[in-house]
Amino acid sequence: MNTDGDSVTNSSKFAEFKDLTAEELKCKANEYFKRKEYEDAIELYSMAIEKDSNNAILYGNRSFAYLKTECFGYAFTDASRAIEIDKNYIKGYYRRAEAQMANGRFKQALKDFETVVKFCPNDRDAKIKCQECKKIVNQKAFEKAISVDTLKRSVAESIDFESMTIDDTYDGPKIVDGKITKEFVEELLDTFKEEKRLHRKYAYKLILDARELFSKSKTLVDIEIPKGKKFTVCGDIHGQFYDLLNIFKLNGYPSEDNPYLFNGDVVDRGSFSVECILVLFAFKILYPNHLFIARGNHESETMNKIFGFEGEVKEKYSKQMYDLFTEVFECLPLAHCLNKKILVMHGGLFSKDNIKLDDIRNFDRFRQPPEDGLMCDILWSDPMPAEGRQPSKRGVGCQFGPDITENFLKLNNLDYIIRSHEVKDNGYEVAHGGKCITVFSAPNYCDRMGNLGAFINFNGGDELIPKYTTFKEVPHPDKKPMCYSSNLFSMM
């Protein structure tokens, strides 16, 4: 499950298979793939490719396995290699379209889907995905056309909050005198636990108030943890609301004595993203200086369109509310610095040297993430064991080695970095000689990965020594991950 760097072939684990033919290795890899042991399947496909480097099917199969592990950059490269070997290998175009689509490159994905439909006109699945992809491309072109020379009006300014009426039959939590109280938040948690909805007027209130708070935040937020005081860092939640409740059960609710930092990717994938983000917004309003949320790569329009959050908000509330969430996500800080010693951000370090903390502080974050540069790297990059830098396995951002981490820390007088962004078997991973920590808080990610979740506790002081708590998934209502995504993204 740890997907740092390139696959290592011919490991001792598969030494017994080293004399098998490429075809035999492919069959073994297929067995691992069927059991959803994707990392092992990748390794065996790689061993087969070493024996037969001009076999399009091997690259196509490995591309599919990379898609399952969210290594979309590697998946694209393998699919392209398969097409290069055999221009008539239709699955290569299909896999490449999936990889392009996962990174929001819809125009490129559309070309490959059109190729699949041309060769397989009776493939109903391909036709549906091609049509859906074309709709998105046309929609984006239309939005771009009408935005020229037009001053974009804030969604928040267009909301007529006061005119929203509340039916007498509504029996959920209520905001009295415009103030979020502890009692309101506790009732909100119980309401969501029972799969009931918060009235849209109160949901809008939470989002608008959160927008006001985050818009005043710095791009890099400095947090001081007093000596002997507790502080908790959580990684990706990904819409797994019942696992979020379990974190609170294990570690306590956010409060002035129990502050939290949620390090991005609160939404998408899991089908209770609305519940997750509204609860965290409520705690943010209640404890503005003790609940922090960083932006992740999934707090963006492109990812929300692909991985379910947009569809979920539209289903549970409205398109207008989704557009308001988009505005709030553009206000979220990109990074947090704990006691001037630990930098916490969602993805990782940078594609170029000599980036200083002031570069982050001075960055204009109020936008959708670009495809390269400082903001892209913060949201998308990953560590790797090898020295130096490599192109990202995801196709966005970069991979950075222990020397890159060491140089960045020295330049900025930091002790280590904490990031999230990647599934880890144990919920966390310590890499780069203890200088790069990954924490991931969505156990059994997407109901299929079997990983533990984790969070990190600190006691404030001169030395912030991390203490890790790991936990398993808890039961949740029968809603599959990404159940609000369109047919186009069902393979993801």
| 211 Cβ contact list (under 8 Å, min separation 6) | 156, 324, 327, 328, 331
From the number of C-beta atoms within 10 Å of its C-beta (0-12, 13-18, 19+), residue 296 rates as: buried
Q: What is the DSSP string of 156-191?
A: HHH--GGG----TT--S---BTTB--HHHHHHHHHH
Q: Cα angle at 341 between 338 and 346, to 5 degrees?
A: 55
* Pair 381, 345: CB distance under 8 Å: no
Calpha distance 449→331 (Å, rounded): 31
* Pair 313, 344: CB distance under 8 Å: no
| 53 Cβ contact list (under 8 Å, min separation 6) | none
Calpha distance 170→183 (Å, rounded): 17
Calpha distance 119→96 (Å, rounded): 15
Closest residue by Cα to residue 270 from 239, 244, 311: 239
List strand residue ranges (DSSP E) for 235-380, in order. Answer: 260-262, 291-293, 335-338, 342-345
Q: At what angle do helices 182-193 and 273-286 cross, to 10 degrees?
A: 170
* Pair 208, 180: CB distance under 8 Å: no
Which candidate in 298, 421, 432, 476 is catalytic?
Answer: 298
| 324 Cβ contact list (under 8 Å, min separation 6) | 155, 156, 159, 204, 207, 208, 211
Helix (H), strand (E) at residue 430: strand 428-431
Closest residue by Cα to residue 313 from 133, 490, 484, 135: 484
Catalytic site includes residue 298: yes
SS3 at position 209: helix
Helix (H), strand (E) at residue 205: helix 200-215
N-term to C-term CA, the chain: 17
C-beta atoms surrounding 354 within 10 Å? 9
Note the Cα 3 to chain centre separation in Å.
15
Catalytic residues: 298
